[in-house]
Amino acid sequence: MKAGGHVRLYVAFVAVLIMGATLLSGPYGLTTAILAAFDAAAALFLIGIAMIMRRGSAERLRQHAQRYDASRPILMLVAALTIAAVA
């Protein structure tokens, strides 16, 4: 994956989470909508990561891990906001 690929995955995660929660909140209520949207966004994210892992060697995966370790707080923030919204 090109540089910035992980950033695109995070942006896609947040976009699916927001759009899914918005679209599903009417028929299912906000709490259920956020949970369902989070599940869909997480599935998309995991598919993207699996594609990265499938194409890379162990050394390339180590390089990716070091390069994108700084983006961990973003993922933690998204998870915390989701938990706060549901709680």
pLDDT at 86: 79
Q: Which residues of the chain have pLDDT under 70?
A: 1-6, 68, 70
pLDDT at 36: 95
pLDDT at 4: 55
Decide: pTM greater than 0.75: no
Which SS3 state, helix, strand or coil, does residue 16 take? helix
Q: Please report, for residues 31, 32, 69, the alpha-carbon distance to residue 7 in angstroms, rounded to integers and kept in the order given.
A: 27, 27, 12
